[in-house]
Structure 1
Amino acid sequence: MSNEINNRRRRFFGAAVVSVGAMESLLSGLVHAQSAQASEPSAKAGIATSSAVFTDIKQINAGALNMGYAEVGPANGPVVILLHGWPYDIQSYADVAPRLASAGYRVIVPYLRGYGTTRFLSSETVRNGQQSVVAVDIIALMDALKIQKAILGGYDWGARTANIIAALWPERCKAMVSVSGYLIGSQAANAAPLPPKAELAWWYQFYFATERGRLGYEANRHDFAKLIWQLASPKWNFDDATFDRTASAFDNPDHVAVVIHNYRWRLGLAEGEPQYDALEKRLATAPLIAVPTITLEGDANGAPHPEPAAYAKKFSGKYLHRTITGGIGHNLPQEAPKAFADAIIEVASY
């Protein structure tokens, strides 16, 4: 390898080595805690074999928050913003980001409010978790970083947030990859009862609706999160080290308050903030999404999720759905990083 190539990689990516298929790239902010290389899950089960982890976390004031985020890739590359869900964190993308960075993308992976190093700027700010406010946070982050337009990718809370930005601010979203499709909801829609089997799958929402549930999550958030991981990805054989790298993000002082408000708000048991009423009114109409979109679903997603046929017509632009096989569960980017990164690269070409 020539000195010129070596120097270029040092300038762009720092000194941490991450394996991306057969190519080795030097990426700042990423290290391997062990010697295992990133790989796709086996044909029989999603087996966590990578120990890549984001280590260089940046901070920036954005809206109501001082947001923590990881960044890899060339500073002048097209921007990809990757959004995590609950109960997960930015480490879901530790194997996705280097794949995209090696393809020339500037990758931003923020901690959502209530996670990791993200903090509220004021102690007086409501620890609000309603759906629109999380999207407002990401728009504020884009403004703070002077990013006019980005490709968005997400799952769980992150997919919903990407959906909202694509629907309400399409001028800020070039294209989108959304796990489990269209997740925009409303308090009115959530008020309708579901069949008993479906209600059973939402057991934690009912738990969080009680004071006992809030106290229980406060006292046992790590064990609670691990149980959700096991239920939502029943074929993903993650180890303790993989879980622990994410679980530290739940020690955020606002984590419990934001999570509890999110789920209580969904059921109409907690009020949102008035300044977001207009946004929620628009979201309650289930607006179409016109930006180019690829939706993904794991073939072993144990979390409640809609069937692809139920949301296909919500995407009025160029659209493709792909089911990822091999025992892939709810945390699709971490369980199938190559498939997720490939979808980002593909949708960017639309």
Structure 2
Amino acid sequence: MQAGVLDVAYLEFGPPDGPPAVLLHGFPYDARACTAAAERLAAAGVRCLVPYLRGYGPTRFLDPATPRSGEQAALGADLLAFLDALGIARAVLAGYDWGGRAACVVSALWPDRAKGLVSCGVGYNIQNIPASGRPVAPEAEHRLWYQYYLHGERGRAGLAGGRHAFCRLLWQLWSPTWAFDADTYAQTALSFDNPDFVDVVVHSYRHRFGLVPSDPALVEIEARLAAQPAIAVPSIVLLGADGVAPPSATDTAARHFTGPYRREIVAGVGHNFPQEAPDAFAAAVRALL
């Protein structure tokens, strides 16, 4: 479906007249991460839409001149355009990593379009780019090695030439208790062969640190996000206890949520929350419907 600057490939589950939910994958995964949860929701009468994000799978840019941006404003704008193209006035928005960021952006800036928000891995998933130069604790910096790697041309070349090995390593590091098999990874890894994957990924991890400019069409949205807007829609935050950034006992994200809100930490789950714990993910979406 043509939506905004993209020709978006997406999966659809459930009755077309059911209450809608959009499930959104992160990096480095694809729409398959959400299919088990979508099947559970479809069985309960929910209409589930699962898009491939920009740079992944069959999704393509409509215009070769469009910047291959991976910034947070782009992800939010893509989600908003997707809802518009499908004629969906309001939906539960649920995702993790990049997908969770898109869901948070739309929930914060266009709250009338979000019936509820499920954000996994990072509760308030809107980047504070003006503050990105502030160092964090050494153990947290260590976990961000892959982002710093992609800041240089050596990292870009490494991703371009070895994307499948690179992304598989991240799966292993970020989900240490998830026993995925070779076929599961191989099916998803096909999505990393998208011709825009490297450009979008590299821009994402450089932009969040203020190292590269925004797409000029998205500057206004980024300015609004720099203010760290609150999220007022009903929200559920799901955190895997074993992910790339293990959750702290103190809920530092709660101050950004001004509507109904709860936070849940799930043991034995890593970064890829919907694929590792589809029952918990689906249950959170249903709770908001």
Q: Percent identity?
A: 48
Using the size of structure 2 for normalisation, the TM-score is 0.97
Match 1:209 to one of 136, 151, 175: 151
Aligned mates of 1:90, 1:219 — CA distance in 2:
23
Deviation sequence 1:120-179 (CA, Å, 0-9, x none): 011111101110111101111111111111100000111111111000000100001110
In the alignment, structure 1 residue 329 sits paired with structure 2 residue 255 = no
The C-alpha deviation readout for 1:27-72, integer Å capped at 9, x for no partner, is xxxxxxxxxxxxxxxxxxxxxxxxxxxxxxxxx1111110000001
Unaligned runs of 5+ in 1: 1-59
Identify the range of structure 1 (268-277 vs 330-339) with the bigger mean alpha-carbon deviation: 268-277
User: Among residues 100, 103, 111, which one is paired with 1:162 in the alignment?
Assistant: 103
Whole-angstrom distance in 2 between the partners of 1:96 and 1:197: 32
The residue type equivalent to 1:170 in the other structure is: P
Question: 116, 134, 159: which one pairs with 2:75?
Answer: 134
8 Å contact 1:202–1:304 — kept in the other structure? no
Change (3 A) 1:71 1:92: same
Calculate the aligned-residue CA RMSD, in Å: 1.1
Output the amino acid matched with 2:159: Y
Cα displacement (A) at 1:306: 5.6
Pair member with larger Rg: 1
CA displacement at 1:304 relative to structure 2: 2.8
Extract structure 1 runs of 4+ deviating beyond 3 A. Answer: 305-308
Q: What displacement does 1:195 show?
A: 2.1
Aligned position for 1:249: 191
The normalised TM-score by structure 1 is 0.80
* Pairwise CA distance, 1:305: 5.9
Match of 1:282 in 2: 224
Q: Deviations over 1:188-247 (max 9, x none)?
A: 121111122211111011110110100100000010000000110111111101111111
Deviations 1:282-333 (A, max 9, x none): 11111111100110011211x13663611012111111111112x1101010
Residues 186 and 280, structure 1, Cα contact 8 Å, conserved in 2: no
Partner in structure 2 of residue 295 of structure 1 = 237
Say yes or no: does 1:175 pair with 2:120. no
Aligned to 1:122: 63
Point out where structure 2 has 5 or more consecutive residues left out of the alignment: none
Q: Distance in 1 between matches of 2:215 and 2:117?
A: 28
Q: Find 1:262's aligned residue among 204, 207, 229.
A: 204
Report if the CA contact (8 A) 2:241-2:247 is conserved. no
Query: Using CA pairs below 8 Å that are at least 6 residues apart, which structure has the higher relative contact order?
Result: 2
Deviation at 1:95, TM superposition (A): 0.6
